Amino acid sequence: MESSAPLKLDHPSDALPIAAESGLRRSMGPRHLIMIAMGGVIGSGLFLSSGYTISQAGPLGAVLAYLVGAFVVYLVMACLGELAIAYPVSGAFHIYASRSIGPATGFTTAWLYWLCWAVAIGSEFTASGLLMQRWFPDVEVWVWCLVFAAMLFAFNAFSSKFFGESEFWFSIVKVGAIIALIIFGGAALFGFHPMSESTSHPFLFENFNTPDGLFPHGFSGVLVTALAVFYAFSGSELIGVAAGETKDPARSIPKAMRSTVIRLLIFFVGAIAVIAATVPFDQVGLDESPFVTVFASVGIPFAADIMNFVIITALLSAGNSGLFSCARMLYSLADEGHAPKAFRRLTRRGIPLIALSVSMVGGLASLVSSVAAPEIVYLALVSIAGFAVVGVWMSITASHFFHRRAFVRNGGRVADLAYKAPLYPLVPILAFVLCLVSLVGIALDPSQIAALYFGVPFVAACYLYFHFRYGRKSAAANQL
């Protein structure tokens, strides 16, 4: 049983000096936090792999899967809000688990999240390079990978505020595309599609009644897509990663959290409902973005070119957020003494440049496997990243459960908390169980089971490495 570090907070403000000791700059407000979270979430999971979800779960099943995903995000964000204010430090998932559960869990959580985004960064670069070949067929994919890598590195290396601004404008493009899909696609479902040459456009939700019923692959089809759906929502937790660089965390974090959950619910569920109602479930997959299919069906001119640009923007935005989070995780590990001290060095603008550079190298290394990746390999990468983010969500909810319990046990008053998750302990327990169910579900899908084959040994290796490398030191420190 892992020993938990003692928690001696009599008031949530007692945690604030942790952040004050950090050299990272508090330069981001709620607007930046919302768009960083939206930027991390709205990526290939919605624009590309949503087709896989619809094909496996069916139209109604896909909508239900995304509704469940949005509900789980709300539960996790409720836990995250309380923790992020108690520990407003950069790369905070590591701190939450270390303080509330134990240092080994914090160490494993940090590397699990780093793995999630390191895998994703290389995939985003490769996918962006492949999409650029539509316009520049004579330019090799690796050239675009290096161009985009240099661009995102510059965004992150300048300052955290510059990163926040770039992510804000990246996200504007993606959100605009989703709103356009919901408006034009929704209008077409009501029979208003003057630009379309087709006379057989589906009306309302008639596509939901498939020849094999509302759930063409049975309800198990919904279960096996849960991990892909959770991966699509990954990035919402970036609000916690950026907590240490946020002005007035007690006000900014709850505001950003509420706005993010509401917007994700509208954008994701609305977009999936329109796509599922427009495109037959057996005609979507990973070979074409369902957004392109919908825009083309309603007669939007240059639909493929427009969406090509939007998807490239979405991929780069997700990579931008991923690189930010990777660097902060390495910084946080070094700050705890669980990674080389060099990762803690900051530039004059408060940027952990060495940690940023190592994270970029990690992302580029994954290009080796993704350059020639067919659809199956892409899905495997998505599954591994999904496993990692679900593992982090489970860590957040468990950390909140133990944090609140220790806070009350040590004499703290729940009424004094700047933000408190509702319905404790139901919220963290329910979120943990739903995340666990999603991991069990992927065992039913041969194309995603690689996530378990790779993810479970990775978690075990992290715990074993911590035990042999740092375990004795942590035990000695606890005895003191």
Between the alpha carbon of residue 56 and those of residues 276, 293, 379, 385, the distances in Å are 12, 18, 13, 19
Calpha distance 147→37 (Å, rounded)? 24
Where residue 13 falls among pLDDT bands split at 50, 70, 90? very low
pLDDT 10s digits, 51-97: 777 877 788 888 888 888 888 888 988 898 888 787 766 556 778 88
Q: What is the pLDDT at residue 245?
A: 57
Q: What is the pLDDT at residue 402?
A: 94
Tell which wins on pLDDT, 167 or 404: 404
Calpha distance 250→262 (Å, rounded)? 19
**What residue type is 411 in one-letter code?**
G
User: Does 10 score more than 60 pLDDT?
Assistant: no
pLDDT 10s digits, 373-427: 434 555 566 667 778 888 889 999 999 999 999 999 998 888 888 888 888 999 9
Mean pLDDT computed over 174-181: 84
Phi and psi angles of residue 339, each rounded to the nearest 5 degrees, phi first: -155, 160
Q: What is the pLDDT at residue 58?
A: 80
Residue 23 CA, distance from chain mean position: 26
Q: What is the pLDDT at residue 401?
A: 95
Contact (Cβ atoms closer than 8 angstroms) between residue 324 and residue 36: yes
User: Does 318 score more than 90 pLDDT?
Assistant: no
Residue ranges covered by each domain of the chain: 14-474
Lowest mean pLDDT among 133-137, 415-419, 440-444: 440-444
Tell which wins on pLDDT, 449 or 74: 74
Token pair 């509420």 in the structure block, residue:
258
Q: What is the pLDDT at residue 128?
A: 80
The answer to whether domain 14-474 has CATH 3.40.50.970 is no
User: Does 200 score more than 70 pLDDT?
Assistant: no
Mean pLDDT computed over 142-160: 83
Angle in degrees, CA 267, 42, 248, rounded to 5 = 90
Where residue 463 falls among pLDDT bands split at 50, 70, 90? very high
Tell which wins on pLDDT, 10 or 396: 396
- To the nearest whole number, what is the mean pLDDT of the chain? 76
Where residue 431 falls among pLDDT bands split at 50, 70, 90? very high
